[in-house]
Structure 1
Amino acid sequence: MWLYRLILTLFVPPALVLRQAWLTLAGRGEPHGLAERLALAPPWPSPPAIWVHAASNGELASARPTIRAILDRHPGTGLVITTNTATGRELAESWRLEGVTARLAPADTPGAIRRFLRVARPSALIVVENELWPERLGQCAARGIPVLVLGARMSEKSHRSWSRFPRLARHVTGAIAWLSAQDDDSARRFVALGLPEDRLGPVLNLKAAFVPRSTSAALPFPRATTLLAASTHPGEEEIILAAFRTALARNPALRLILAPRHPRRSAEIARLIAATGLAFATRSKGEVPGADTAVYLADTMGEMDLWYAGAGMTFVAGSLTDRGGHTPYEPAAHGSAILHGPDVANSAPAYAALHAAGAAVRVTGAGDLAEQILRLADPATQADLAGRARAALRGADAAALSPFLSALDAALSRRPRDVHPART
C-alpha cells in the first residue's frame, strides 16, 4: 500500500495540472476541475452527507433510482455525488435534487482524500459498480465510515490483475462493509480476493433495476415513426445520419432524435446534420421542432427519459465503434424497440438474452440500419420486440434495492452521528 500511495502522490497532482492545461487550450476546460480533483475547492455548506460515487454518466444514471430511494428513506439527509467526469457532474446537477451536491471525485492520493473527508464528513460511502480506489476505501474504513458497493463487476481479467497484488486486494476488500455483485461470477471472484462472505449481499444489476419516470416527450412526432439514437459517440453520427436519410427518402414520416453522449459536441454534430441538408432543431438553443423537422438534436443532460418516451425505436449507441455499447435496459423499460451495432461487450449477457428471445436487432452499418428502421417503423412490430425485451431482461424491479437499503440502514445506525472523522 505504501508504494501505491507514493506513486500516486508523486505523479497524480502534476498529471492533473497538465491535463487541465491541455483541456483549457483545447477549449474544454473543466470549471473548478483541478481544485475539485485535488479537494482544494472551497467547502460547501452542508451537514454530514452520504457520499455516492459513480464513474460517469452511465453508472450514475443507473444509480438514480437508488439515490431517489435513499432520499425518500432518509429525508433531510444530504448527499454528495462525485463522478470522474465533468459530464457526470453535470448530469447530477441537472437532476436538481434537494440536498444533493455534485463534485468531481477527489484523486486517490492521501492528501486529496483526507481533505475531501474533512469537508464532506460522510456518514457512508456508496460505490457504484467498479470504482474500488484503495486510498479512498482505506481512509473511509479507518474513520469508521461504512463502504457499500452496488452492482460490482469483477471480470476474469480484472481478477487476474488484482491477484498479482494480494495485499492491496485484501486492503480493498477488507474496507468493504457490504457488497452486491452484478453477477454470480463477480461475487465468487470478490470472495476469492478476500471479501468475507458475510459481507456479500444478493446479486444486483442496477441497470436491470431501472425504473422509468412517467414522462411525456411532448414532441410533434408520432412515436412509432420516431427513432432515438441514444448516447452517440464520434464516428457514429455520420453512419446514423446516412442511414436515416436513406430511410427517410422511402418513408417521409420518419423522424430522428439524436442524443449525443457528450453534449459539448453539439456544434460538431450540428455541422454534420447541416451537411445532410435535413431540417433540424437544437434542444439546448430552445428551438421547438415542428412537424416537418426531420432531426431533433437533443444536446442536453438529464433528459433521456423524455427521448425514450417519445421514440418507438432506439438505436443503442457506443456499439458501432469500439466502446462496448451502452445498456439496453432503459429502452426496454420504456417499451422502445432496440437496435444496436456489433460491439456490445459492456452488456454482453443482456444482449445475449435479448437475441435469444428475438428481442433486439443487430446492424453493422448504414445500409442495414436503414432497412431495419423502415421495418421497425410499425407499432405492431415495435410492441412485439418491446414485449420480448421486457421478458428477456425481466423488467425493472424496484424491490431489488431492498437488501441494499436495509444494509445502509444498519450501517448508519451503528455509526455515531455528528462525529468528525479522525485524521490519518
Structure 2
Amino acid sequence: MIARALYSLFWWLLLPLLPLRLWWRGRKEPGYRLHWAERLGYYRIPVDRQRPLIWLHAVSLGETRAAQSLVAGLRQRYPQHQLLITHLTATGRESAQALYGDYALIATLPYDGPLGIRRFLRHFRPAFGLILETEVWPNLCAASQAAGVPLYLLNARLSARSARGYQRFAALSRPAFARFRAIAAQSEADAERLRQLGGQAVTVCGNLKYDLQPPPEAATLAQRFRHAIGERPVLLLASSRDGEEALLLGALQQQPLPAHTLLVVVPRHPQRFDEVARLLAPAGLLQRRSQWDGAAPLPAEVQILLGDSLGELYAWYGCADLAIMGGSLLPYGGHNLIEAAAVGCPLLLGPHMFNFAEASQLAVDAGAAHRVTDVADALQQAMALLAAPVQRHAMREAALAFVARHQGATQRMLAMLPDGVA
C-alpha cells in the first residue's frame, strides 16, 4: 500500500510535465497532440448503458494488429455486447480506428494516476477487461479490482530481462500481477516468470500472432510489386529501427550486394520515413514507395526502394526473396517474425531477438529462419541464400508449416473468459 501511494505521488509530480512530452512527441507524430483529455480520464465517447461493455487494451501498433483474431472471436461469442479498445500510442489508436472503428469504441487509456483511472472506469463501466501482453499498471489493476472489474492478462510474454525489472519493484508489481483473474501466457517460460511475480491461474495458451491471417489484399499487392520489380532478387530490411539502416549501409560498402539486387527498406516508425530517405539517397538510386504506384515497372537502375507507406509490410514480405528482421541488428529486442513466416518469407534474425526469444528459436528449429551474428554475417548469408533458390523454397515451406503448427491460441484464450456478462 505504501509503495503504491509513493507511486501515485510520482504520477502527481510528473503530471505538469506530461503535456510537454506529448507536444514534443507530436512534432513527428501529430496523433500525440490529440485526445489529451482522455489521457487524464475525461471522455466524451457515448456509451450504450443498455449493453454490457467488454474492454480490450492493446497498448501500441503491434498489439493492435495481433488482436484481430481475438476481436473477431469476442464479436462472435458476445454479439450483444459493446467493445471498447484502448491504446497508449498514437499509431496504435490510428491502426485500431482503421481496423475496428466501424463497430468498436476507440479510446486512449489514461496515465496510471489513480484519479484518471477511476474516471475511466466510471465512464465506461466495463464488465471485464482484457489486457494484451504485459501492460501491467499498479493503479489500473487496483482500481479495477475495487470497481469489481475482473481483469485478464492475455497473450502475456515476459522476457528474463523484463522479469528482473519487475522484481526490482516487487512491492508494486507483485500485487498488480496477483490481481488478474487469469493469465494466458505465450510459453511455459513466460508462465513460470509470471508465477514468480505473483501471477495466479497462469495457463500456457500460445501466441495470438500465429492466428493472425494475412489480409487477402496483401497477396494481391505483393504480386503487383513483384510484377513491377521483375526477376530481380529482392532483399528486405523489415521494420528497421534507428541506427540499423546506417549499420547496413556501412556493411554494404565493404560487402556490396550483386548489382541487380533490389534492397527494400521498410522503417518501423512512419515518423522516420524522411530521415531514412535522406540517409539512403547517397547510397544508390532511391525510389520511395510514396512516389511510385507499385504497378509501373520499376526502373532497372533503382537500387534501393524505401517502403514509406503504411499497412504494406505483409505485401513486402510476400514480395521479398529474403528478409532481415529489423530491431534485431541492434538491441531493440526484434519484432514479430510470425508475420513474415505466415506468408512464407525466409528470414535472417539478428542477435537481439530477446522480445521474441521463443518464437525465434522455434522458427530456427523449424528451418524457417537462420540466425546471424552481426550485419556482416547477415549480408554474407543473404548473398548465399539469394543464390540458392532451392534452399529458399525449403525455408518458405518450413515457414508456412511452422505457423500452421502453432495456431489455436485465440480459442484457448476465449475459453478462459466468462460464459456470460451481466
Which residue does the alignment assign to 1:380?
A: 390
Amino acid at match of 1:279: L
Aligned 1:132-143 pairs, distance under 5 A: 132-143=136-147
Alignment check: 8 A CA contact 1:53 1:126 kept:
yes
Q: Aligned with 1:45: secondary structure?
A: coil
Q: Aligned with 2:154: secondary structure?
A: strand
1:370, distance to aligned residue in structure 2 (A): 3.5
Q: Aligned with 1:335: secondary structure?
A: coil
The alpha-carbon distance between structure 1 residues 125 and 301, as it changes in their structure 2 partners (threshold 3 A), is farther
Aligned 1:386-397 pairs, distance under 5 A: 386-391=396-401, 393=402, 395=404, 397=406
* Cα root mean square deviation, aligned: 3.1
- 1:112 alignment partner, one of 107, 112, 116: 116
Which residue does the alignment assign to 1:231?
A: 239
Q: Does 1:272 align with 2:276?
A: no
Which residue does the alignment assign to 1:221?
A: 229
The alpha-carbon distance between structure 1 residues 249 and 398, as it changes in their structure 2 partners (threshold 3 A), is closer
Return the alpha-carbon distance in structure 2 between the equivalents of residues 110 and 257 of structure 1: 46
Which residue does the alignment assign to 1:420?
A: none
Amino acid at match of 2:243: G
Q: How many residues align?
A: 407
- State the identity %: 32
1:231, distance to aligned residue in structure 2 (A): 0.9
Q: Unpaired segments of 5 or more residues in structure 1?
A: 417-424
Amino acid at match of 1:265: R
Return the alpha-carbon distance in structure 2 between the equivalents of residues 46 and 76 of structure 1: 14
Aligned 1:155-304 pairs, distance under 5 A: 155-156=159-160, 158-159=162-163, 162=166, 168-169=172-173, 171-196=175-200, 199-214=201-216, 215-216=218-219, 217=222, 218-219=224-225, 220-222=228-230, 225-241=233-249, 250-252=258-260, 254-283=261-290, 290-292=297-299, 293-304=302-313
Return the alpha-carbon distance in structure 1 between the equivalents of residues 20 and 312 of structure 2: 33
Deviations 1:115-145 (A, max 9, x none): 2223333232111111111211222222222
Q: Aligned with 2:317: secondary structure?
A: helix
Q: Aligned with 1:51: secondary structure?
A: strand
Q: Aligned with 2:213: secondary structure?
A: coil
Which residue does the alignment assign to 1:402?
A: 411
Q: Does 1:150 align with 2:154?
A: yes
Amino acid at match of 2:95: L
Deviations 1:124-180 (A, max 9, x none): 211111111121122222222221111223445555555566664453234212211
The alpha-carbon distance between structure 1 residues 330 and 362, as it changes in their structure 2 partners (threshold 3 A), is same
Amino acid at match of 2:41: A
Deviations 1:289-315 (A, max 9, x none): 632244332223333222222223121
Which residue does the alignment assign to 2:88?
A: 84
Return the alpha-carbon distance in structure 2 between the equivalents of residues 184 and 79 of structure 1: 30
1:34, distance to aligned residue in structure 2 (A): 3.1
The alpha-carbon distance between structure 1 residues 311 and 167, as it changes in their structure 2 partners (threshold 3 A), is same
1:99, distance to aligned residue in structure 2 (A): 1.4
Alignment check: 8 A CA contact 2:232 2:262 kept:
no
Deviations 1:3-46 (A, max 9, x none): 4243244223123123124335x555513253232123x41234
Q: Aligned with 1:10: secondary structure?
A: helix
Normalising by the residue count of structure 2, what TM-score does the alignment of the two structures yield?
0.84
The alpha-carbon distance between structure 1 residues 141 and 203, as it changes in their structure 2 partners (threshold 3 A), is same
Return the alpha-carbon distance in structure 2 between the equivalents of residues 50 and 94 of structure 1: 19
Q: Aligned with 1:229: secondary structure?
A: strand
The alpha-carbon distance between structure 1 residues 290 and 202, as it changes in their structure 2 partners (threshold 3 A), is same
Return the alpha-carbon distance in structure 1 between the equivalents of residues 204 and 375 of structure 2: 42
Aligned 1:330-341 pairs, distance under 5 A: 330-341=339-350
Q: Aligned with 1:230: secondary structure?
A: strand
Return the alpha-carbon distance in structure 2 between the equivalents of residues 251 and 330 of structure 1: 29
Amino acid at match of 1:200: V
- 1:31 alignment partner, one of 29, 33, 52: 33
Amino acid at match of 2:45: W
Return the alpha-carbon distance in structure 2 between the equivalents of residues 409 and 241 of structure 1: 52
Return the alpha-carbon distance in structure 2 between the equivalents of residues 367 and 194 of structure 1: 43
Amino acid at match of 1:68: A
Which residue does the alignment assign to 1:43?
A: 44
Which residue does the alignment assign to 1:421?
A: none
Alignment check: 8 A CA contact 2:338 2:403 kept:
no
Q: Aligned with 2:271: secondary structure?
A: helix
1:112, distance to aligned residue in structure 2 (A): 1.0
1:382, distance to aligned residue in structure 2 (A): 1.6
Q: Aligned with 2:209: secondary structure?
A: coil
Amino acid at match of 1:337: P
Normalising by the residue count of structure 1, what TM-score does the alignment of the two structures yield?
0.83
Alignment check: 8 A CA contact 1:89 1:104 kept:
yes
Return the alpha-carbon distance in structure 2 between the equivalents of residues 80 and 286 of structure 1: 36
Return the alpha-carbon distance in structure 1 between the equivalents of residues 291 and 414 of structure 2: 36
The alpha-carbon distance between structure 1 residues 108 and 334, as it changes in their structure 2 partners (threshold 3 A), is same
Q: Unpaired segments of 5 or more residues in structure 2?
A: none
- 1:310 alignment partner, one of 315, 319, 331: 319
Return the alpha-carbon distance in structure 2 between the equivalents of residues 243 and 162 of structure 1: 37
Amino acid at match of 1:136: L
1:233, distance to aligned residue in structure 2 (A): 0.8
